[in-house]
């Protein structure tokens, strides 16, 4: 087991709209930056994707602290997911869980590690959260224009 800090963020220009995700992984003095984007998505999907991609990058089980500015991610994985699984991926009001595909991926990946989920207030100068946000925005910026957008 290793000691690892993971900082994640998602961003969206419009909701839905073009979105990006970013993750900063740090252990000791070693860092790894990850980012990507999707043309038509939501902010919540990008927040979840950031954590999923960070966990997919791990080569072995770890003990990690995951920092997110998304209460949706932090509360979803720490609290709500237990009821959703018990209810067949339905909410307490019997509606299908939004983003169930991503929640199921995250649940499977999280089960391979010892994770502590930490919420941080976004856009308040937290250096690593600001870096994750910049990576998420980089994911949006690097989306290639679609054929319809070319002159």
Is residue 17 within 8 A of residue 143, CB to CB? The reply is no
What is the set of domains in the chain, with CATH numbers?
A: 3-146 (3.30.420.10)
Half-sphere exposure of residue 119: CA atoms within 13 angstroms, side-chain side: 10
pTM for the model stands at 0.93
Phi, psi dihedrals of residue 139, rounded to the nearest 5°: -60, -40
Res 149: pLDDT: 40
Average pLDDT (60-65) is 95
Q: Which tokens go with 125?
A: 């100068």
Residues marked as catalytic: 9-10, 47, 69, 123, 133
42, 132 Cβ separation under 8 angstroms: no
Give the model's confidence band at 146: pLDDT under 50 very low, under 70 low, under 90 confident, else very high: low
Please, which residues have CB within 8 angstroms of residue 41's CB and are 6 or more apart in sequence? 12, 16, 17, 18, 19
């Amino acid at each position: 087991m290793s000691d690892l800090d993971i900082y994640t963020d998602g961003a969206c220009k419009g909701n839905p709209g073009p979105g990006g995700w970013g993750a900063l992984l740090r252990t000791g003095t070693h860092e790894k930056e990850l980012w990507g984007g999707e043309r038509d998505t939501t902010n919540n999907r990008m927040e979840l994707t950031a954590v999923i991609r960070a966990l997919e990058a791990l080569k072995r089980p770890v003990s990690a602290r995951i920092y997110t500015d998304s209460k949706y991610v932090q509360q979803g994985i720490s609290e709500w997911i237990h009821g959703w699984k018990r209810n067949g991926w339905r909410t307490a009001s019997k509606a299908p869980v939004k983003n169930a595909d991503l929640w199921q991926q995250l649940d499977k990946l999280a089960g391979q590690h010892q994770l502590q989920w930490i919420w941080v207030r976004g856009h308040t100068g937290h250096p690593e959260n600001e870096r994750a946000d910049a990576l998420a925005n980089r994911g949006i910026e690097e989306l290639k224009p679609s054929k319809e957008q070319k002159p």
